[in-house]
Structure formats: structure tokens, C-alpha cells
Structure 1
Amino acid sequence: MSTTRRYAGMSADDRAADRRARLLEAGLEVFAASGANGATMTAICAQAKLTERYFYESFTSRDDLLRSVVDAVSDEIRTAALDALHSPADNVEAQVRHAITAFVNVLTDDRRKGRVAMIESSAVESLRAHRRESMREFARLVAAEAHELYGDHALPEPESEITGLLFIGGLAELVVAWLNDEIDVTPSQIVDAATRQFVATTHR
């Protein structure tokens, strides 16, 4: 009965989902702004304007929430890039450019997402292995999509996954350098360079 009772037009399940979304948004904000040390449960709850009781309704620990924040960014990148890759385009290079543009835009249009996914996650011990596995998943995705794009001309395994990891690692480092203001380039220039790299290295 409690899960269906409505308050202010929202069911209990709707309110729980809303609180979870608020905590994830607060986690993104605090983790990006204050880093791992500043992203405490207390700070995140304060940002979300929720008590710790509601924190434990959705998450088992601070690191559980931070992992969910990073996963949400990764899921957004994956969805945006695949949707762009499979959208109408004049040729394969245009498809690749669309996908890389979508990838880069998620991380640069909202710098918080870039910082959390590419920088701050590596500062949390419990997230490091998770981040590395996420990079491997993206590398495998690059390899799989290269096979779709180039067919028999795509690189065979394991060369395709090796190349995918080199590509994703290099693109990630470019974005990190941009986020840290270490290189004087635009996101469009990053897309240009990454597109050339993909087209030149993922097939024979």
C-alpha cells in the first residue's frame, strides 16, 4: 500500500525515483567541484537537500553513488555516440565524425561530466578498476563498430581491440588535457584529430 500512496500528485515510487535522481545530480555537482575528498555523503546530501536516511534508500555507500554517477555519464556517452554513428551520413568518415562529436560533446558541453568520468574517478581507489574496465568496454565497442563499418577490411582480433584501446585511451587523454586547460585546442579540433585517427587505424 505504501508504494502506491500518492502525495502531492506523486506515488511513493515516483518520490523515491525523484530522490535518487536528486542525489545523482548532487553527486555529479559535488564530485566534479570538490573532488573525491570533498564528495562526502554529508556534502552530497546537503546539495540534494535530503537527509542521510534517503541516501541509504538508494545507495549503500558514498562510493556506490559515485560509481552510479560515473556509470550514468558512460551510458550517456555510449547512447549518444551510437545514435550519432547510426544516423544518416554521406559516407563512413561522416558517420565516424558524428559519433566522435557526440562522444566529445557529452564530456565538454558539461565539464562536470568530463571531470567526473575522466579525472576524478581515477582518484577514488574503489573506482579505478571500474574506470579501467569501462575503458576496455569502450575499446571493445570501437572494435565492434569498426567491423560493422569496414566489414572484411576491419582489423582482425586481437589487433582490433588493441587499436580500440589505443584510440579510446588517446581520446580520453586529449579530453583530460582540455579539461585541465593544458592544451590550447577546441573540442572541434579534438574531434578532427580523433576522426583522422579512427579512419586511418581501424581498417586495412
Structure 2
Amino acid sequence: MQSGVYRGVSAAERAAERRARLLEAGLTVWANPDTRTTMTAVCAEAGLSERYFYESFSGLDALLEAVMDRIAAEIEETSRQAAEHAGEDPAARAQASIRAFVRLLLDDPRKGRVAIVESVAIPELRRRRTELLRHLAHQSALEAREFFGPRDRSENADETAGLLFVGGMAELVTAWLDGTLRASADEIVEAASRALVGLYR
């Protein structure tokens, strides 16, 4: 081993790989209602010792916040890319963006459960959840102006609509994930798309 390189992998790369394993383990443990979310449980799931946990995170809350941040970034990027590939029609772009979000939740239900449902139960993370929802609401407002044009709406009106839409989506997805609302993915996409278009047109 020379200069921190072992079998062709640098020390920084190994640390990044361990961090990724801890994030994935945190997502798995946190999303499981039958498992108590602790640092010990996360380390066991990742197959790493607590020493390596503290290499990347100051504590459990820091890990869980990083899990939330990663999911929010994925939602934002996935939705944006879908809209960009949907053509020029504003309604089609809105529907593609929402469909990509719903597909993400179907492909990995852990992500919706953690970011929207479980995060409410931890007081220390509620602030971050609120910040992320407001960030997504702001992005929704910016994208809506791009999709539909400014028309006669003010920026403040767009921000208000963004908060209504994202807050409503959070409640809709919560009810969908916990089984209170029985609806197909297509029905969720259709309802959310109508709401988004109605708010901005």
C-alpha cells in the first residue's frame, strides 16, 4: 500500500464507498417499521463498525438527514429530466415530471416512506423535512413559470401555488403509502397533474 492506495483503490474512494453503504443501510433500517433505527442497527446492516460510522457522520441524526437530502436530490433530478424529455407541451411536461416521481416511489417504496412519512416522527428532523419541502415547492414554482409562462401571475402567487402543490402531494403520498387512500399509480399521477396545471394556468 502506497500513499493510501490499496489494491488500486485510494483511501478517499474507500471512505466514500463506506459512506454510501451507511446511507443505503440507513435507508433500509429507517424504512422498516419492525426495526428500531439506531446507529448499531445501521452499522450491522452496512457490515461496518461504529468507527467507520463516525468517519462519515457525527451521529445518527446527521446520517438520517443525509438520507433525506439524497432522496430529495433524486426526486428533483428525476422529475426535471423527465420533464425535459416530454417535449414542449406544458401539461405533458407536468405529467411526465409527476409520473417520474411516482415511479421512483414504486421502484423503491423505502424512499417515500422515509422522506415523507417516517421523518415526521423524529422531532430533530422535522425542520429539515420542512426545509426540503419548501425547496421543492420553490423549484415547482420556477419550473411552472418555465412550463406555462408568467402570464399575469406574480412570483409570489407562483410560490404560493408551489407550496399548495407540494404540501398537497406530501399528504396525498402519505395516504397512498399507508393504505388510507386506495388508488393506482395512474390515478395518483392524473389527479396530481390536474392539480398542478390548475394551480398555474
Structure 2 unpaired stretches of 5+: none
Unaligned runs of 5+ in 1: none
In the alignment, the residues of structure 2 paired with residue 170 and residue 154 of structure 1 have an alpha-carbon distance, to the nearest angstrom, of 24
Offset from partner CA, 1:51-70 (integer Å, 9 cap, x none): 00000000000000000001
Q: CA deviation at 1:190?
A: 0.6
Whole-Å Cα distance in 1 between the matches of residues 123 and 186 of structure 2? 33
Question: How many residues of Structure 1 are paired with residues of Structure 2 in the alignment?
Answer: 201
**Does structure 1 conserve the Cα–Cα contact (< 8 Å) formed by 2:134 and 2:163?**
yes
Confirm whether residue 108 of structure 1 aligns to residue 106 of structure 2: yes
In 1: Cα distance, 2:16 partner to 2:129 partner: 26
Does residue 1:75 correspond to 2:68, yes or no?
no
**1:166 paired to 2:164:** yes
Which of 22, 36, 39 is the aligned partner of 1:38?
36
CA contact (8 A) 1:5 1:12 kept: yes
Q: How does 1:6-155 map to 2 (within 5 A)?
A: 6-34=5-33, 38-89=36-87, 91-153=89-151, 155=153
Divergent runs of 4+, >4 A: none
Q: Is the CA contact 1:23–1:44 (under 8 Å) kept in the aligned structure 2?
A: yes
User: Deviations along 1:148-192, whole A, 9 cap, x unmatched?
Assistant: 112232631322111111111111111111110111101211110
Deviations 1:5-24 (A, max 9, x none): 22233221111111000000
Which amino acid letter does the alignment assign opposite residue 156 of structure 1?
Answer: S
- CA 1:154/1:57 → structure 2, altered by over 3 Å: closer, same or farther? farther
**Contact conserved, 1:147 with 1:154, CA < 8 A, in 2?**
no
In structure 1, what is the Cα distance between the partners aligned to 2:45 and 2:147? 44
Q: 2:29·2:37 contact (CA, 8 Å) conserved in 1?
A: yes
Calculate the TM-score normalised by the size of structure 1: 0.93
State the alpha-carbon separation in 2 of the partners of residues 63 and 155 from structure 1: 40
Q: CA deviation at 1:147?
A: 0.9
Contact 2:86 2:96 in 1 (8 A): no
Q: Partner letter of residue 50 of structure 2?
A: E
